[in-house]
Amino acid sequence: MKRNKALTSALGVVVALTGVFGLTACGSDDSGSGGSSAGEQAASESDIAEDLENARTAVADALAEDDSWAQIMLASDVTAPTVKYGLLVVPYTYSEAASRIQGTVNIEDGKYTIDGDSAETGQTWQIDQDGTITEVTE
């Protein structure tokens, strides 16, 4: 369990660093569109971006194995993907930066969103199947 958590955390750090380097490269391009998009800006402002990316990766990996699921549950009490309660349950644990990450992800035509709350700010953020992070406003 600790090994899986460490590997998941390490993967999240790699994904986050890749995103940071990619945003930095895009931001310094003078011939580009003149700035970063709202989604890129929101992703850089979210303190739970890594948690959301890890959750999206868990769902995407599960769908890569079997894309027939309409719901996938993220849970910390499993060590490998398993079927419980009629749902595919995949291992996932969020960090202390998040106070909540959505547990059951609904998938329709391959599209889904996962939302979570920042423990520090209370802001709610959402990631979609493409990895775009946006702030959720009421």
Q: Where are the domains positioned within the chain?
A: 2-135
Report the C-alpha gap between 58 and 73 in whole angstroms: 10
Q: In sequence order, which residues have a C-beta less than 8 Å from that of residue 103 and are 6 or more positions away?
A: 73, 74, 75
Report the C-alpha gap between 128 and 111 in whole angstroms: 7
Is 70 exceeded by the pLDDT of residue 8?
no
> Is residue 56 within a helix (H) or strand (E), and if so which, with residue range?
helix 49-65
β partners of residue 89? 73, 82
User: What local confidence, expressed as pLDDT, does residue 64 receive?
Assistant: 95
User: In this structure, what DSSP letter does residue 63 have?
Assistant: H
Of these ranges, 6-15, 22-31, 41-50, 72-81, the one predicted with the greatest mean pLDDT is 72-81
18 in helix, strand or coil?
helix
The structure's pTM equals: 0.68
